Structure formats: C-alpha cells, structure tokens
Amino acid sequence: MFGFIVKKAQATVDNAIGQVVNSVIVAVPLIVAGGFGTAALLRYLDRTYGTDAAYLILACGFGVISLVALLVMNAKARATPAEVGAETPTGEVEEPSTLEQLGTMSKTDRELLMTALTTAGPLALPGIFRVIVRNLPLILAVLAAIFVMTRPGASDEPAADGQADLQPAE
C-alpha cells in the first residue's frame, strides 16, 4: 500500500540529486573559465594602465558586479509577497523587522534553537577560539585603525587657508 508512495518519494529525491549534480558539473567549468578570464583581464589592464590602476579597475568592476547582484536579489525578495505584515493606510504591506520576527518565535522554536546552541556551543567554541587567537594581531590592528579613524581631531574647525595647523617637531 505504501510502496508506491515510497517509490515516488525516492524517485523525487533521486531527481533532485541528479539536478544538483548536473548543475555542479556545469558550474565548475564556468567558474574556472571566469578565473582565467579575470587573469587575462588583469594582464591586459596591467599592460594598458599600470599595476595599481589595473588592480583598482578590477576591484571596482567586481564591486559593481556585486552591487548589481545585490540589487537583483533585493528586487526578487521584494517581489515575493510578505508572509506576515501589517497593511498601512496607503495600502502598502509593511514587512516586520528581524527583531519583530525573532520576538514572534514560538516556544517550541525557541527551545529548539537553545538546544542547538547549547549542543553545538561546546564543540564550536574551541575552533572559534583558535581562529581568534591565530588572527589576534590582525584583529587588534583593525580595532586600532577603527579607534584612530573614529577619534575626533584636535580641532573640528578647518584652518582659514584650508591647510591643517601643523607644528614642527622639536
């Protein structure tokens, strides 16, 4: 009686796995081709504009590609209707924020999340600690740079001639 359902479920899973494998088989050569294309583009830009400008142009190109991908993903996310939302007086649907969604978690979901965190925490904590200790100089350098960049200057007013008021060292 249930044999038909089991066979159909197994066929569906096999079909899904087959599609994923085929997608990976197609994606890997495209990724390799993209790497070689990027290398060729870098060499061309390096010969044409110089090393520093070539890296800057390539970085800006990847930044633009990332922004376009982000805009496309956001457009797709906005196109899907909101599952839970309140309707504003203008008729628009207002999506709840992440904090509001977390506040509406059911008791069961909250218990499952806490169980997962308490189970995985002791296993993940040593690995996280090792990564932090290994990269401690880099983390401290980034924190020092953030501290220096966010510190207010000696005077927030610019000098009258537009130059900073510099004093010679003694």
pLDDT in tens, 39-86: 999 999 999 999 888 899 988 888 888 888 888 888 877 776 555 455
Q: How far apart are CA 137 and CA 106, in angstroms?
A: 42
- So where are the chain's domains? 7-81, 101-151
Mean pLDDT of 131-160: 78
Least confident span in 9-13, 54-58, 147-151:
9-13
pLDDT tens track for 91-133: 555 555 555 555 566 778 778 777 877 887 777 778 888 888 8
Mean pLDDT of 8-26: 80
* Per-residue model confidence (pLDDT) at position 94: 57
Which token pair is 92? 């628009």
* Per-residue model confidence (pLDDT) at position 157: 54
Closest CA to 100 of 84, 117, 78: 84
Q: How far apart are CA 78 and CA 74, in angstroms?
A: 6
